[in-house]
Amino acid sequence: MKLRQRHFVALLVLLAGSIASGSALAADTIKVGVLHSLSGTMAISETTLKDTMLMLVEEQNKKGGLLGKKLEAVVVDPASNWPLFAEKARELIEKQKVTAVFGCWTSVSRKSVLPVFEELNSLLFYPVQYEGEESSKNVFYTGAAPNQQAIPAVDYLMGLGVKRWVLAGTDYVYPRTTNKILEAYLKSKGVAAGDIMINYTPFGHSDWQSIVSEIKKFGAAGKKTAVVSTINGDANVPFYKELGNQGVTADVIPVVAFSVGEEELSGIDTKPLVGHLAAWNYFMSVDNETNETFIETWHKFIKNEKRVTNDPMEAHYIGFNMWVKAVEKAGTTDATAVQEAIIGIAVPNLSGGYSAMMPNHHITKPVLIGEIQADGQFQTVWQTKGLVVGDEWSDYLDGSKDLISDWRAPLACGNFNVKTGKCSAKK
């Protein structure tokens, strides 16, 4: 009896799995892979991006598809499990024969799939802000590099007279690398080591009492203090709640965050947070026609007027349109041809200008700084005048300041050392 029950459950699971992967086979479609976690811890952020991709594909099909064929999105669920990302990526490329993949959120997941994409020579569009220090022939980084988010934010605060800095982050690769770059940058601007406090917390940290109290004390030394937060995901909600309760308001100690967007704020009561800052390349509140259309399409697609849009969604919007244009230009979906064609392609972004793909596989973006409002939106208080080119190898770290990346022939190298004149990848 029990054995039969167990078999039944196994059958159900199998069935559910095959429905989810939606393996409808049709020869006259162009397949696009979507590699975002739909279950597990990262589902909170990545599910929205899966929906964004489905919407973009649907919109493109309404316009007549690509190269005369319909596009078809193939969705898989890597379940917030880093090794599973690599497996699922292989499945998408080898079995499903997708022409390009849009996906990943955390840097670990990107590092996990990177060898697969390089081995099978396929394309990955990565939509999230990250720590830099990487450039792959097969990856296009449509999120911000540190110089497109962290450094302008620090510049802005310095302009407001901030003299003491708290660098608070979750304990993993993105905050550690970003903080290393920021620390070097601040020191190069003459900030003393005693005026920098660095603090790391585990994933999902929920008891912020001591740390907020420490920040308060650090900020009471008579110099204007600010917190630069690379705290990730769920840990932000209790952090901001504690800030509000302990009375750390934005006019005393402003917090500028790099991982808090409209979506994260939709889960918090934002009234005590009004005035705290975030640096992004896009805010939902940006006022222009392209953005309005995008939001309208999104609301119609998701059938919920209350859903917000955010920066990584914009990155997918840019990345997808760049890929479409590159395929049209190359006349084929062949990975090598698209890699060549996509460099130099410019498409409209949602903050009112154009973004272009650079030879280092990063894109140009404006940098916006916004203050949190009581309705969970951001009010832009500062913006770069022009576009900023993503800098993959930071100029402030010893190991990387001499490196550049240029994937055009004849250099075609992701880490060319300008001092030694050698490409370290080609041994």
**Where in 257-296 is the site for other proteins (CB under 8 A)?**
263-264, 266-269, 272, 274-275, 277
Does 421 interact with other proteins (rule: CB under 8 A)?
no
Touching other proteins, residues 241-260 (CB under 8 A)? 241-242, 244-247, 249-252, 254
Cα atoms found within 13 Å of the Cα of residue 98, Cβ hemisphere only: 26
Nearest approach, Cβ of 137 to other proteins (angstroms)?
A: 24
- The binder of other proteins chosen from 205, 316, 361, 365 (CB under 8 A): 205
What 117-124 contacts at long range (C-beta under 8 Å, 24+ apart), as own/partner pairs, is: 117/89, 117/93, 120/90, 120/93, 120/94, 121/335, 121/336, 122/93, 122/98, 122/335, 123/99, 123/323, 123/335, 123/338, 123/339, 124/35, 124/89, 124/100
Region near other proteins per CB under 8 A, out of 60-68, 95-103, 108-116, 383-391:
383-391
Should residue 377 be labelled a site residue for other proteins when binding is judged by CB under 8 A?
Answer: no
Considering only residues 336 to 375 of the shown chain, the ones binding other proteins according to CB under 8 A are 367, 371, 373-374
Using the minimum distance from each CB to other proteins, give the nearer residue, 68 or 159.
Answer: 159
Closest CB to other proteins among residues 159, 399: 159
Q: Is the Cβ of residue 374 or residue 418 nearer to other proteins in the bound state?
A: 374
Minimum Å distance from CB 41 to other proteins? 5
Q: Is 311 in the site for other proteins (CB under 8 A)?
A: no
Looking at residues 221 to 240 of the shown chain, list those that interact with other proteins (rule: CB under 8 A).
Answer: 221-222, 234, 237-238
- The site for other proteins, by CB under 8 A, has a size of 72
Select 235 or 318, whichever has its Cβ closest to other proteins: 235
Q: Which is nearer to other proteins, 119 or 292 (CB)?
A: 292
> Of the two residues 29 and 373, which places its CB atom closer to other proteins in the complex?
373
Nearer residue to other proteins within complex by CB, 42 or 326: 42
Among 214, 334, 340, 402, binds other proteins (CB under 8 A): 214
- Under the binding rule (CB under 8 A), the answer on residue 11 touching other proteins is no
Binding part of the chain for other proteins, among 62-70, 175-183, 219-227, 342-350 by CB under 8 A, reads: 219-227
Single out the residue of 23, 206, 293, 424 in contact with other proteins (rule: CB under 8 A): 206
CA–CA dist 46, 155 (Å, integer): 30
Q: Which amino acid is at 376?
A: G
Stretch near other proteins under the rule CB under 8 A, chosen from 60-68, 151-159, 289-297, 409-417:
151-159
User: Interface residues for other proteins in 108-137 (CB under 8 A)?
Assistant: none
Nearer residue to other proteins within complex by CB, 149 or 291: 149
Does residue 188 touch other proteins according to CB under 8 A?
no
- Give the nearest distance from C-beta 25 to other proteins in angstroms: 27
Nearer Cβ to other proteins (336/379): 379
Helix axes 173-188, 150-159, angle to 10 degrees: 40
- Please say which residue, 78 or 272, places its beta carbon nearer to other proteins: 272
The contact mask relative to other proteins for 19-58 (x = CB under 8 A, - = no) is: -------------------xx-x-xx--xx----------
